[in-house]
Amino acid sequence: MFPISSLRFRVAFFYALFGAGLSILLSGGVFLTQQQMGHRLMDETLRAELEDSVERHARNAEFVPPNTVSIKGYVLSDTRPDRNIPAAIKSLQPGIHNVEVDGIDYRALVADRKGTRYFMLFDTENQHRREAQYFRFLAMFALLMTVSSAAGGFLLAIHVIAPVTRLAEQVSQAEPGDPNLSLAKLARNGEVGELARTFDRYLRRLREFIERESYFTADVSHELRTPLAIILGSVEVMEQDETFSAKQKERIARIKRAVQDMIELTNALLLMAREHVPGVDETPCHVGEVVRSCVDKHQHLVGDRPIRLEVELAAEPNLIVERPLLEIVIGNLIRNALFHTRSGTILLRLEAERLIVRDTGAGMHPEELAHALERYYKGPSSAGSGVGLSLVKRICDRYGWRIALDSEQGQGTTAEIAFSATK
């Protein structure tokens, strides 16, 4: 059975619907035509009997009106009062009528001839019985047509949609970098062929794009890492020089930390550029160790401000995640908290299923909070580039984590990362 949303099901369904509608219209038209013909036949029979009765009455004043199984006749005149005329028809005016007498339906013809009124009744019971039988026959015909249309629609859908199905299967199995893939071979002509050729053109552009991205990533990896490594090596040499003053060494230490941050950020961005395939080349990362390392690394940002960096390790889970990316997440949350906190406490609490970073800083407006995770968004008091929190969200999305921010102006901000997306 096809899924209801599939193209094959819709083609078959509307084909069956068309067949059912057409058969119902035809059956209804045939039934109405048959019914009109039956009424016309009865009327013609009544007129023939009427003319015959008038003619026989003219020849014989004592003639007896017809009284058969299907036709009954009555005559009413001043010289011939017929007391047997049913009261239901005696008051009828000249013309064609449908009347019920003693529980039986009749088609009645009333006509005046030479001062005499003639009543001709046609018993319609047999006609109604034939109409009912014919209606049942037409209903069976319509049902058979509907079922046949549905079956034919499903068979037609399978045949017509087969090229589209093959194309969809081929696209689902396609690798963008496969140079030998050609979807146009599946369908040479028609709309499906044009669709396949369009996919081929798109895949060709995609391969070229992937190739450019690969070259760019390789070039960035080499051209950035090499000078950063040279700078870091030079800084480490300068750290060994005793001729520098304490203030100069402090500046050298800041340069070293900035270079190390740049190296880590470069590595993280290069990792983000790679396709993430769960379960491939992944090793568990000890989250508690990364939390402690990030807190030690950012301790210098506290400076002389009255801020306490506190760590609570309620659990120490292991996660399948690249350590540089996890360090980016935790480091950005710590820096964001330090930037908005002049005094008070910044708490990092690690649990089995989540990490909480809570500060007692300035907090955020509701409008600022609503856009905080958007790329390049900067709040009124932000001095950053608007990339940090958006990068955190991208990393969380990469691993199926859920990040949530809760903030109240003047009361601080709480960032929570749930390592289980359903939690």
Q: Where are the domains positioned within the chain? A: 7-148, 278-418
What is the mean pLDDT of the segment spanning 107-134? Answer: 88
Which three-class secondary structure state does DSSP give residue 299?
A: helix
Q: Which CATH class is domain 7-148?
A: alpha beta
Exposed/middle/buried for residue 60 (C-beta within 10 Å: 0-12, 13-18, 19+): exposed
Q: Does the predicted TM-score (pTM) go above 0.75?
A: no
Largest Cα span, the chain? 155
What's CA 77's distance to the chain center, in Å? 79
CATH architecture of 278-418: 2-Layer Sandwich (3.30)
Beta partners for residue 120, in sequence order: 73, 109
Q: What is the pLDDT of residue 423?
A: 39
**Cα-atom radius of gyration of the chain, to the nearest Å?**
46
Mean pLDDT, the chain, integer? 82
What is the mean pLDDT of the segment spanning 198-224? Answer: 75
What is the mean pLDDT of the segment spanning 72-76? Answer: 89
What is the mean pLDDT of the segment spanning 275-287? Answer: 70
Q: What is the dihedral of CA 194, 199, 202, 203, to 10 degrees?
A: -140
pLDDT digits (tens, 9 = 90+) for 234-279: 888 888 888 888 888 888 888 887 888 788 777 777 777 766 656 5
Q: Which two tokens stand for residue 375?
A: 């790329």
Q: What percent of the chain has pLDDT over 90?
A: 21
Burial 387-398 (b: 16+ CB within 10 A, else e): ebbbbbbbbbee
Q: What is the pLDDT of residue 174?
A: 64
pLDDT digits (tens, 9 = 90+) for 360-414: 988 888 888 888 888 767 766 555 556 778 888 988 998 889 999 999 888 899 9
CA gap 226, 234 in Å, rounded: 12
